[in-house]
Amino acid sequence: MEIPVNFKRFCELAKDLGALDARIISARDIVINDRTRLKCQYGCPFYNHYLTCPPFSPTIEQSKRLIDGYDWALLFTVRFSSSAPESFFTGRTHSIKNMVILQKIAAELERQLYLAGYDSAFGMACGPCLLCDECVLQPGKCKYPSIARPPSEALGIDVGKTVGKVGYKLKVATSPSDTVDIFGLVLIV
């Protein structure tokens, strides 16, 4: 299946919004792995602390059915550095203190795709939602429902394997001063 030409403009929009890179991938390249969700439950300090994270996010079975209903996804990456000062953005690197930019990019891409006629577009971020100091933890009571997006890994998406399948190399930060590329995803029918 050939990538629709009009999708390329959304890759450019992702970069205009602050992404380092963006590309359209086949939804078939998205790897769902039961172990990914398990790592959320056992080992992640954010489990049960945010409405965007497990146990509030879709189950593995729901995620598989969801992704099976899509043809394409816009995969974008945002580069962060913990050594960059707050509000820093240069050379396409953001301060780690501004991680909400990932959710904002995903939400805005989803919105723009919706306005272009892709009404089932669905955005995902990475890591916990940091829009509020403390999550209300009451479904339907989110203060920012138009921006809050679940992390891909909460839906069981193995981000490392997915990005590897489409040509990215995942770099693990080994020092607080390392830059790290974090990925977001917007599903498109």
Per-residue model confidence as pLDDT tens for the chain (189 residues): 788 888 999 999 999 999 999 999 999 999 999 999 888 889 889 999 999 999 999 999 999 999 999 999 999 999 888 776 666 666 677 777 788 899 999 999 999 999 999 999 999 999 889 899 899 999 999 999 999 999 999 999 999 999 999 999 888 878 877 888 999 999 999
Q: Are 94 and 88 in contact (CB under 8 A)?
A: yes
Domain count, the chain: 1
CA 162 centroid distance within chain? 12
What is the predicted pLDDT for the residue at 89?
A: 62
For residue 81, the surrounding DSSP H or E stretch is: strand 72-81
Distance CA 150, CA 50 (A): 9
- Compute how many other C-beta atoms are within 10 angstroms of the C-beta atom of residue 60: 16
Residue 19 tokens read as 């992404």
Distance CA 59, CA 45 (A): 19
pLDDT digits (tens, 9 = 90+) for 68-80: 999 999 999 998 8
Domain of residue 61, residue span: 5-188
Number of H helices, E strands in the chain: 5, 6
